[in-house]
Structure 1
């Protein structure tokens, strides 16, 4: 278990970090902390080559379960972020059309075109 202990501890910290209530105010700090922990985990991964003992296999299965939970939380965070970005773009477009409502109208210098046949 000695080799997997730091990897497991970082995985637990990552899961606890993503279990927090994430809102627009603290999202940026949580994402930066998640990135740091993922980088640390990535650095530790080459230090854990096989073969594994039975105890390490049990810890490894716990890590896999935690990793699945982390992946679901990160997907939910990504979906929320995408939704908020889409809403922001929509609001920006709405504000722009409110300030200049005749921007999209095409005119032909007073010429009337009848589309009926």
Structure 2
């Protein structure tokens, strides 16, 4: 039996998982499922060793191509998460600034400083 088929199928399911629409509501669930699949695939990858047949070689190349697509999708998710975190920080700053607008103003106007000691 072809040893690469389970790895190929698992990689394909990972790609399909990342191909669905991912937003802030389901992101954590998708990442958890993806992480479990990555661990399972890692165990399968450790179990195989050369020599490979021609069919296994073809499937291996397809898996490598899918890995590149998965990597791009993961980078996109990371970028979206990073932007969302920046927006939350900016919103915190705006809220603080609105509630206490004079907090960060440093003015010497109206203050007497005695230079002598």
* Alignment TM-score, normalising by the size of structure 1: 0.89
Q: How does 1:40-51 map to 2 (within 5 A)?
A: 40-51=40-51
Q: How does 1:75-86 map to 2 (within 5 A)?
A: 75-86=75-86
Q: Which runs of 5+ in 2 are unaligned?
A: none
SS of alignment partner, residue 49 of structure 1? coil
Q: CA RMSD in A?
A: 1.7
* Alignment TM-score, normalising by the size of structure 2: 0.89
Aligned residues: 113
**1:83 & 1:99 partners in 2: Cα distance?**
24
Q: How does 1:19-38 map to 2 (within 5 A)?
A: 19-38=19-38
Match in the other structure for 2:55:
55
Q: Deviations over 1:66-103 (max 9, x none)?
A: 11111111111110110111111111111111111111
Q: Which runs of 5+ in 1 are unaligned?
A: none
